[in-house]
Amino acid sequence: MMRVLITDFQADAGFEREVLPGVEVDALLSLIGHPPTPADLVRAVEERPAEVLITWYEMFFDAPTLVALSRAGVRGIVRAGVGYDNIDVRAAITAGITVCYVPDYGTDEVADHAMALLLWCLRDLGAALPTATRPEAWWDATRFASIQRLQGSTLALLGFGRIGQATARRAQSFGLNVRWYDPYVPRGQDKVTRTTRVESLPDLLQGCDALSIHCSLNDETRHMIDASALVLLPPHAVVVNTARGPIIDEQALYEALLTGGLAAAAIDVLEHEPPVDNALFDAYLRGELQNLLLTPHVAWYSQQSARELRRKAAEEAGRLLRGEPPFNPVT
């Protein structure tokens, strides 16, 4: 019988078994009883082969791990999610392992979450928290005097794929002007979406009222938004990130929020998750940054999107098992 192994995060494989009748599906977490390591994974497939793996975000696949998995009979890895930065894709291809991902399961949820974070920033909702000021000063509406009208404001999008474009549509319904930078999007997409395309990161950042990040994480985008990029934003600008944490230099963001270089930021993703010894996160928990909102990497989530993700990941695994062309291979 063909076998699929879920490598991390989830312990229950019942839903995937329903999607893949006639296929043996197991979750490594339930088999070994503790969060698995790459060594645990290699050992498991050596003992009981699995042709395809479904992986979340807690398992990392470097070149030696991928070579060992290939030797044990693994032919495909499906990343249950949009990002696949936890997999050395080149090493996988070299090892003869096909890598796939699920890019279209939570587009609406992430775009909705990005807009919620954006509105929190632009409407200065952090000032409404009971900890924002002294009780006797809380009703003083002059604390909100810096709020600007949404209509006519400029939203800058770094990345203009599915989620970036979904966010643009939502922002336009609020009357925001949308411009974006993404050198990998075909020409003419600005005309279709009634947005403005710019040709460089400085052109994107200078003079905008808000920046929302929607690009993937790779060597090109890691710390793309660093101190030299943040200084290009006007002091009244806000930053939203629902993509990947390492795209922003967190120390530079922390200093910009502390010194007034930015008005506010709302972040769903951090460089290391869960955060450990993270100055930005620690200051947030201590209540030292009233102009910062953090959410724990939940932009993707709704009950419906979680089921859609698991279904599409399992269906892609099925295509790999049957030798059919996958829908979303990483090349």
Active site residues: 244, 273, 297
Q: What is the DSSP letter of 10?
A: -
Task: Look up tokens 């710019």; give the residue.
Answer: 198
DSSP secondary structure letters along 190-206: HHHHT-EE-SSHHHHHT
Radius of gyration of the chain (CA): 22
| 30 three-state secondary structure | helix
**What token pair was written down for 206?**
């200078």
CB 242 within 8 A of CB 299: yes
CA-nearest of 288, 208, 221, 282 to 248 is 221
Nearest to 209 by CA among 124, 112, 113, 293: 124
- Using CA atoms, how far residue 252 sits from 238, 249, 256, in Å, is 14, 5, 6
Calculate the alpha carbon distances from 93 to 33, 45, 78 in Å: 31, 19, 13
Q: Give the 3-state secondary structure of 157-194.
A: EECCCHHHHHHHHHHHHCCCEEEEECCCCCCCHHHHHC
In this structure, what are the phi and psi dihedrals at residue 3, rounded to the nearest 5 degrees?
-135, 140
Interatomic CA distance for residues 31 and 35, integer angstroms: 10
| Strands laid side by side in the 177-181 sheet | 196-197, 177-181, 154-158, 210-213, 238-241, 264-267, 292-294
